[in-house]
Structure 1
Amino acid sequence: MNYQFIDVKLEGRLTIITLQRPESHNALNFGAHEELQHAFDNFASDSEQWVAIITGSGAKAFCAGHDLKQQASDANLGTPANGFGGLTSRFDMNKPVIAAVNGVAMGGGFELALACDIIIASHNAVFALPEAKVGLAALAGGMQRLPSLIGLKRSMGMLLTGRQVNASEGLQLGFVNEVVEGDVMEAARRWASDILACSPLSVRATKAAVMRSLDVSVSQALTEQWGYPQVQEMLNSQDAIEGPKAFSEKRLPMWVGH
């Protein structure tokens, strides 16, 4: 697929996806949604790609959400099968995805970041779910993910007013992992490098077990985790042998991902 609205680069085991509509604050039109769906499909299915970073082009915006100008002229502007940006409803994505938020993350853009596992924000990043101000609602996971991260009252304070939260407050509230003064992509790559130093099967098993445990009791999650395909794949892998062996031999492990 020839991308027009995004850019995709592979750096070793790392996939970097960049939104390329800076003139529209990287708001997503129909074409951008379709391209992101394709890019995340490729990332999910490529056994050689272990971690992804998504960011926006330019210095002002990560993603301003839906392209409201297009939506105003086309009421049927929808999202792909896997949700806003091809990610917010992709519940089988067990590989880690990092959001490098380089500016404004509004509406669906904030929901896209919330669907990622880690959020790294530049000092000028701003987050909001302002859908109620334009007669809509945060239907791409914002109304579900934000309360689970920061609690009911804090999330309702954002959802019912559309108020904006800066990066430092996002860190305090708990949905931002790190705020950086310099290059947000440099920090995101550092986080990706730390993840890539771990066994990819262990990372995927961990993400699968954590995400599935959110809706059940601890006792149920502890019992069910042994049946998760990702956990079984990890336990039966060469990496499960390589990790302890490398530790005992006082060397870095050589992960193969199977």
Structure 2
Amino acid sequence: MGEFCNAERDGHLFVVTINRPERMNALHPPGNAEMSLLFDEFQSDPDLWVAIVTGEGDRAFSAGNDLRYQAEGGDRSAMPSSGFGGLTSRWNLDKPVIAAVNGVAMGGGFEIALACDIIVASDNARFALPEPRVGLAALAGGVHRLPRHIGLKRAMSMMLTGRHVPAAEAKELGIVAEVVPQGEALACARRWAGMILECSPMSVRATKQAAMQGLNETGVRAAHEGRYEAVRAMIDSADFVEGPRAFSEKRPPQWQGR
């Protein structure tokens, strides 16, 4: 139990919950620093393979930056280098993270979700980058990630207006993988995590690293011919042998993650 967020270990799964419901789970620098320490733990622990991030309660995943704290002149020195929520600038994380959006995901809250690999949402969820409405800009990766996710024109229709997008539309746009009834977002995320955990964690990390780093290349050939450390680690791992062996022996594989 932290001061601003909680973490739960469930086997190879790590669940992080932003716990500031009185502020719609908005984050200030101390809260971001606490989140960063938790994701440091997730990243460095070889026995943690998948993470979920969500918000406490049914009203908000995260309303983003705690503007009241900022307006009152709160100390901002604790802001971590890993970015908003300890995730938006964590460029070297090869383990998958799922966002369970259980209400509003605004500004930095939406940017946390965009930094995740899969987003699932309750039907009362709403997404927006409303920073221009308060004299700011979505500079925790939002202005760059959203156009890459849904295309420039559709992203501009959100970013230049700050409009709220409901969960059903977010699914149509390709932001959200699944929409479930209110109160079921975390259970849905756990189900998706379970599907990932059926796969080799070495293969999952190789897939994520190659896909994400490959986006930095100018074409498919350059991305295909790139060198990825996680792919080499997969090939050198015990899991690389265990997978085909388990398939030939008609049994579930026993992944080691090494």
TM category, shorter: over 0.9
Aligned sequence identity (%): 56
Report the AA paired with residue 219 of structure 1: R
Match of 1:136, SS?
A: coil
Which residues of 2 match residues 139-218 of structure 1 at below 5 A? Answer: 139-181=139-181, 183-216=184-217, 217-218=219-220
What is the correspondence of 1:247-258 to structure 2 with a 5 Å cutoff?
247-258=247-258
**Structure 1 alignment gaps of length 5 or more:** none
CA distance in 2, matches of 1:30, 1:83: 10
Q: What residue identity is the alignment partner of 2:242?
A: E
Letter in 2 for 1:207: K
Shift of 1:77: 2.9
Paired residues of 2:202 and 2:234 also in contact (CA < 8 A): yes
1:161 and 1:36 map into 2 onto residues whose CA distance is 29
For 1:13 and 1:198, locate their aligned partners in 2 and report how far apart those are by CA, in whole Å. 12
Q: 1:45 to 1:87 in 2, by over 3 A?
A: same
The answer on whether the counterparts of 2:52 and 2:98 sit within 8 Å (CA) in structure 1 is yes
Matched with 1:237 is 237
The alignment of Structure 1 onto Structure 2 pairs a total of residues equal to: 255
1:33 equivalent in structure 2? 32
Contact kept in structure 2, 1:15 and 1:51, CA below 8 Å = yes
- Residue 76 of structure 2: SS of its match in structure 1? coil
The residue that corresponds to 2:3 in the other structure is 4
Q: State how far apart, in whole Å, the 2-side matches of 1:228 and 1:165 are.
A: 36
Q: Comparing 161-170 with 70-79, which one deviates more in the overlay?
A: 70-79
Secondary structure, aligned partner of 1:99: strand
Residue pair 2:29, 2:75 contacting (<8 A) in 1 also: no
The equivalent residue for 1:19 is 18
Shift of 1:132: 0.1
3-state SS of paired residue (1:202) = helix
Give CA deviations for 1:166-225 in whole Å, capped at 9, x if unaligned: 00000000011100015111110000000000000000000000001112111011111x
Q: In structure 1, how many angstroms separate the alpha carbons of the residues matched to 2:193 and 2:144? A: 26
| 1:143-186 deviation digits (Å, cap 9, x = unpaired) | 00000011111100110100000000000000111000151111
The equivalent of 1:103 in structure 2 is 103
Distance 2:110 2:29 in 1: 18
- 2:169 is paired with a residue whose SS is helix
Query: Are residues 1:222 and 2:224 paired?
Result: yes
Unaligned runs of 5+ in 2: none
Question: Hey, what's the Cα distance between the residues in 1 that align with 2:254 and 2:143?
Answer: 41
Structure 2 CA distance for aligned equivalents of residues 31 and 150 of structure 1: 32
- Do the aligned residues in 2 keep the contact of 1:26 with 1:63 (CA within 8 Å)? yes
For the pair 1:43 / 2:42, whether they are aligned, the reply is yes
Code of the aligned partner of 2:160: L
- Tell me if structure 2 keeps the 8 A contact 1:70–1:77: no
Could you tell me which residue of structure 2 aligns to residue 114 of structure 1? 114
Give the structure 1 partner of residue 94 of structure 2.
94
* CA distance, structure 1, for counterparts of residue 160 and residue 208 of structure 2: 31
